[in-house]
Amino acid sequence: MDNVIEFINVRKRLGPRQVLDGMDLRIRRGETMVIIGRSGIGKSVTLKHIVGLMRPDSGEVIVDGIDVGAANHATLLRLRSKMGVLFQSGALIHWLTVADNVALPLRELGGYTEKQIEAIVLEKLDLVDMRASAQLTPDKISGGMQKRAALARAIVRDPEIILYDEPTAGLDPVLANITTELITGIQKRLGVTSLVVTHDMQSAYVMADRIAMLHAGRVIQVGTPQEIRHSTDVAVRQFIEGRTVGLLTDDMEAAWRK
């Protein structure tokens, strides 16, 4: 099967911590892969490797056939134009309105008339149900609305790959479900490859075609939501049941102590 994103034996050290320690993962074209794992285990670091904001110490990160770690600036720019990223905090530019934020990639990279930009922006805002707030600045809207606006910005260039960093973190359960539905809806409509990083198991089960559990710098299990739900791996079991005592907590503490 056609793999869009491949991690091959990736290692990355940040300060004293070995964050990724021989990570292997393959993400197929058109699927929604959800990476789960405890906070601080390197899920966001994984995303940063895919967009080239970080480069691996060793190993390879291959996106659409290109080795991101070895790519030059121009290649990286071309690769990034195929990707949309939803950051954890939304990361909207704080002095621009919602509409201007969504329009930003189109305006800055050129090639569109103002009329075209307006049409595209309204179309994307409709997708996330944010047309009514188009003229507000980020500080005037709620956290959930910021995430939706950021999602509209992430898909404004019709990316082939969308990366989500903790899309439901900090949202109340109802909003979290709405966001989950939004992501699955966009996935169905656009037919993109999605990679979601989360520790929200409920939304993971709903969104995922496959789930990968990250622990101690490696992927310890990959499987369908059904397989993960019935996993016999002790670490996976501890995570999905949220138990406080077990392998996960011991290893985490050991890693931080090192």
Instruction: Between 81 and 177, name the residue whose CB sits nearer to another protein.
Output: 81
Binding string, residues 34-53; x marks residues near another protein by CB under 8 A: --------------x--x-x
Q: Which is closer to another protein, CB of 166 or CB of 200?
A: 166
Beta carbon of residue 158, minimum distance to another protein (angstroms, whole number): 13
The count of chain residues that interact with another protein, using the rule CB under 8 A, is 21
* 239 near another protein, judged by CB under 8 A: no
Q: What is the 3-state secondary structure (H, E, C) of 118-153?
A: HHHHHHHHHHCCCHHHCCCCHHHCCHHHHHHHHHHH
Rounded Cα distance, 212 and 35, in Å = 5
H/E element holding 44? helix 43-51
Give the separation between CA 153 and CA 102, rounded to whole angstroms: 4
Place of tokens 């530019």: 93
For another protein, what does the binding mask look like between residues 121 and 150, x meaning CB under 8 A? Answer: -----------------------------x
14 sits near another protein (criterion: CB under 8 A): no
Tell me: does residue 75 bind another protein (CB under 8 A).
Answer: no
| Binding of residue 87 to another protein (CB under 8 A) | yes
**Residue 81 binds another protein, judged by CB under 8 A:** yes
Strand, helix or coil at 65?
Answer: coil
- The answer to the question of residue 85 lying near another protein (CB under 8 A) is yes
Binding flag, residue 77, another protein (CB under 8 A): yes
How distant is the alpha carbon of residue 235 from its chain centre?
23
3-state secondary structure of 161: strand
- Classify residue 208 by its DSSP letter: -
- DSSP helix, strand, coil percent of the chain (3-state; round to 5): 45, 25, 30
Pairing of strands 66-67, 58-63: antiparallel
Q: Is 74 or 174 the residue whose CB approaches another protein more closely?
A: 74
Q: Is residue 93 involved in binding another protein (CB under 8 A)? A: yes
Cβ–Cβ under 8 Å, residues 153 and 96: no
Per rule CB under 8 A, is residue 71 in the interface with another protein? no
Q: Which stretch binds another protein (CB under 8 A): 27-35, 78-86, 169-177, 194-202?
A: 78-86
Alpha carbon distance 106, 117 (integer Å):
7
Q: Which of these segments, 3-11, 81-89, 185-193, 199-207, binds another protein (CB under 8 A)? A: 81-89
Binding site for another protein (CB under 8 A): 48, 51, 53, 77, 80-81, 83, 85, 87-89, 91-94, 104-105, 108-109, 150, 153
